Structures are given as C-alpha cells and as structure tokens.
C-alpha cells in the first residue's frame, strides 16, 4: 500500500511539473508573438497569421495600381508587367514586340474590352486581345510619361500625364494644360463624380473640370488652402468625395471638407459593404468601419503595417483586401495576411 501511495505521489508531481513547464512555454510563446506584433504594427485582435504564398507569375515588382476588369478579376500593374488574377492564378498580359518592360503605372479595361496601359516611358498602349496600339506624342498625346487612365460615362478616355491631361474620343486627342485652365500640369489621378464633373489630383493642387462650361476650378478646403500632391480620389456610395495625398485624408460631403488624418494617404477605397480602406505611403492599412462614417470625424482601425512603401488598396470578388507595395502584393482575408511571391 505504501509503495502504491509513493507511486501515486510521484505521478501527481510529474503531471504538475509538466503542466507548469507547458504553461511557461505557452506564456513565453505568447509574449514572443506580442513582441513580434508590436514590431510589425499589427492589431492582435485582427491578424492571426502572416504567411508567404509562392505561385507562378505573382507580381515581384512595384505595384502602383490594381483595378478590376469586366469579369471582376484583378488587373495588377507591376511595372515590368501587367498581370491578371482570376481568383486562382496569375497570368501576364503579353508585351508588344521589342518591349521588355511596360514601365507600367496603370492599367484599365475599357467598356469594349480593350486594355489600356499607362507607361512612364512609352505613352499609352491599347491592347485588344490580339494587337497593340501605342499612342505617344507623335499621335497627339500631350506627354509620354503617363500616370493614370479613366474612362468617362460616355466612353471617352482621359489620360493623366506629367505634362497635362489628354482626352481621347476614339479618333483624336484633345489636350489640357495650365494654358487651358488646368491648375497643375503634373497629374497623378483622375476621377469622375456622379454629376459628370472630372476631378484631377495633381502634384500641386486639386482641380475640378465642368464639361458643361469647359471651366477648370481649383478646389480648396474651408480655410481656402489647396490640397497638395493628391494621389487618390473616390466618390463613395453616399456621394462623399474622399481625397488622399500629402495633406492626409479628407472627406467632402458636398458642403464641408473634414480632414481625418495628416498621414500621407496613397489610396482610398470603398468596399462592397461601405467600409472605407486607406493605405499610407509607409504601408499602414486602415479601415473606417461603415457604421462609424455617420460621425463627423470617424476613427480608423489600423489593420496592419508592412513598413514598406505602398500604393494601392482594393477588394477582390472573394472579399479579400489587396495591397500593392514596392515589392509586390499582399492580401488580407479578415484574419490573416498573405504575401504573394513569384516562383523564380
């Protein structure tokens, strides 16, 4: 009986020590993860996992723009290449003969199915699925360094360049510079609102064009200050205009401009349920929850910070949030961050 009692005590002691050791290891692991989270700037309640997924043709260069095509697939501008992601695989758009790199800044599929590519070197390309047409200053384009492409409601193409804006009606180019009233010739982005007015974010100012009057107007805040170096413009589902750039993020409700942050905002995006997402130039991905947007100054939640220059944020058809960075792309599925890397 005494021997059995001794064995029982030894067994209890072993179990106790093992439990304590496991708890210490768990606490140590938890503390280590918390330290890692702090270094990465992660909101622990949101991010549960960070992973790298290797796949063929994933973007490996600077991604300035990501748009959706008519199928809802992502059209990714990865400087050297333009890449389509259909939800499962990455496929490169072919290049014209003799071109090793598009030097691409933007890509857009128009209403006829043509893909337009803005190049920082070659003007713009139009690809119809079989052949390329290259438009440069020789064809009437205002400047060969192009930054952004927009198709308006009637189907015409607007092209932002370093030397003004070019408007293409399918036959010829009509160009706008400061001589015609544009407030700055170095244009970053173009957006059309629901009334048909065209907004231009430039390196120097924010500019509004009214096609009915053919007049340009510089847009200023309530103190009369101009918006500097505007890189992103959207109109949300409620009709608010969101402006991002060197001055941070501002929202215009048609009457009042409200500044929400002074951090440089590279891109602002509204998802399908009305949340507003932003990415900063330093890689801070933030969300303004739809329910908070009724407030005069809604507060954002930092979802993740990748500590790298970042340029674009967009939602794919599966609901994942994608971010274009200096080294490629990552996505966020509500719990985890996945970096997509090319198999060399």
List, for residues 53-93, the tens digit of each pLDDT value. Answer: 999 999 999 999 999 999 999 999 999 999 999 999 999 99
Other C-beta atoms closer than 10 Å to the C-beta of 1 total 5
Rounded mean pLDDT, 333-344: 93
> Which band of pLDDT confidence, cut at 50, 70 and 90, is reported for residue 17?
very low
Among candidate residues 128, 126, 159, the one with its CA nearest the CA of residue 145? 159
User: What is this structure's pTM?
Assistant: 0.85
Q: Helix, strand, coil: what percent of the chain each, to 5?
A: 15, 45, 40
Q: Do residue 129 and residue 70 come from a single domain?
A: yes
| Buried/exposed 239-258: b ≥16 CB within 10 Å, e otherwise | ebbbbbbebbbbbbeeeebb
CATH of the domain at 89: 2.40.10.500
What average pLDDT does the chain have? 88
Is 28 within the bounds of a domain?
yes
Q: Do residues 266 and 277 lie in contact, with contact meaning Cβ atoms separated by under 8 Å?
A: no
Widest CA span of the chain, in angstroms?
A: 105
DSSP state of 308: S
Q: Which of 135, 164, 193 is the last residue of a domain?
A: 135
Is 94 within the bounds of a domain?
yes
Is 36 within the bounds of a domain?
yes
Q: Do residue 34 and residue 69 come from a single domain?
A: no
Q: Which of 120, 135, 150 is the last residue of a domain?
A: 135
Q: Do residue 23 and residue 74 come from a single domain?
A: no
194's tokens:
């629901």
Among candidate residues 186, 188, 197, the one with its CA nearest the CA of residue 163? 186
Q: Do residues 274 and 266 lie in contact, with contact meaning Cβ atoms separated by under 8 Å?
A: no
Q: Do residue 71 and residue 23 come from a single domain?
A: no
For residue 35, is pLDDT > 70? no
**Cα four-point dihedral sign 252, 159, 74, 122:** negative
Length, in residues, of the chain: 344
Q: What is the pLDDT of residues 203-234, one digit of tens each?
A: 999 999 999 999 999 999 888 889 999 999 99
Q: Looking up tokens 């096609």, which residue turns up?
A: 211
Q: How many domains does the chain have?
A: 2
Is 187 within the bounds of a domain?
no
Q: Do residue 25 and residue 74 come from a single domain?
A: no
Print the domain residue range for 19: 1-40
For residue 164, is pLDDT > 80? yes
Is 321 within the bounds of a domain?
no
Is 297 within the bounds of a domain?
no
Among candidate residues 245, 315, 246, the one with its CA nearest the CA of residue 275? 315
> Which band of pLDDT confidence, cut at 50, 70 and 90, is reported for residue 311?
very high
Rounded-to-integer distance, Cα 309 and Cα 305, Å: 10
What backbone torsions phi and psi does residue 305 show, to the nearest 5 degrees? -130, 120
Is 101 within the bounds of a domain?
yes
- Listed range (35-39, 295-299, 311-315) with the worst mean pLDDT: 35-39
Q: Which of 88, 117, 135 is the last residue of a domain?
A: 135
Give residue 133's pLDDT. 98
Is 110 within the bounds of a domain?
yes
Q: Do residue 89 and residue 24 come from a single domain?
A: no
Give residue 37's pLDDT. 38
Q: Do residues 37 and 318 lie in contact, with contact meaning Cβ atoms separated by under 8 Å?
A: no
DSSP state of 317: T
Rounded mean pLDDT, 306-329: 96
Give residue 1's pLDDT. 42
Q: Do residue 65 and residue 36 come from a single domain?
A: no
């Amino acid at each position: 009986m005494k021997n059995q009692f001794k064995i029982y005590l030894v067994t209890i002691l072993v179990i106790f020590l093992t439990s304590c050791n496991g708890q210490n290891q768990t606490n140590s692991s938890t503390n280590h993860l918390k330290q890692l989270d702090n270094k990465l700037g992660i909101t622990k309640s949101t991010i549960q996992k960070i992973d790298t997924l290797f796949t063929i043709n994933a973007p490996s260069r600077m991604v300035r723009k990501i748009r959706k095509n008519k199928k809802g697939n992502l059209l990714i501008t990865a400087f050297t290449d333009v890449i389509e992601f259909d939800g499962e695989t990455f496929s490169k758009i072919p290049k014209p003969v003799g071109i090793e790199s598009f030097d691409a800044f933007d890509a857009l599929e128009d209403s006829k199915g043509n893909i337009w590519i803005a190049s920082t070197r070659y003007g713009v390309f139009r690809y119809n699925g079989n052949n390329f047409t290259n438009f440069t200053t020789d064809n009437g384009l205002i400047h060969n360094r192009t930054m952004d492409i927009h198709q308006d409601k009637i189907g015409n193409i607007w092209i932002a360049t370093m030397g003004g804006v070019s408007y293409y009606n399918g036959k010829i180019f009509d160009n706008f510079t400061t001589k015609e009233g544009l407030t700055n010739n170095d244009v970053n982005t173009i957006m059309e609102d629901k009334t048909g007015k065209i907004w231009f974010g430039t390196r120097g100012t924010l500019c509004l064009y009214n096609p009915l009057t053919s007049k340009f107007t510089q847009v200023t805040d309530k103190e009369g200050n101009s918006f500097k170096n505007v890189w992103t413009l959207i109109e949300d589902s409620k009709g608010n205009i969101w402006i991002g750039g060197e001055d941070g993020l501002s929202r215009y409700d048609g009457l009042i401009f409200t500044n929400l942050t002074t951090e440089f905002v590279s891109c602002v995006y509204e998802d399908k349920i009305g949340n507003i997402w932003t990415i900063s130039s330093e890689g801070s991905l933030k969300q303004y929850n739809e329910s908070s947007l009724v407030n005069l100054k809604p507060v954002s939640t930092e979802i993740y910070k990748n500590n790298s220059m970042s340029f674009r944020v967009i939602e794919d058809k599966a609901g994942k949030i994608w971010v274009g960075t200096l080294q490629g792309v990552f996505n966020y599925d509500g719990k985890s961050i996945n970096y997509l890397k090319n198999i060399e």
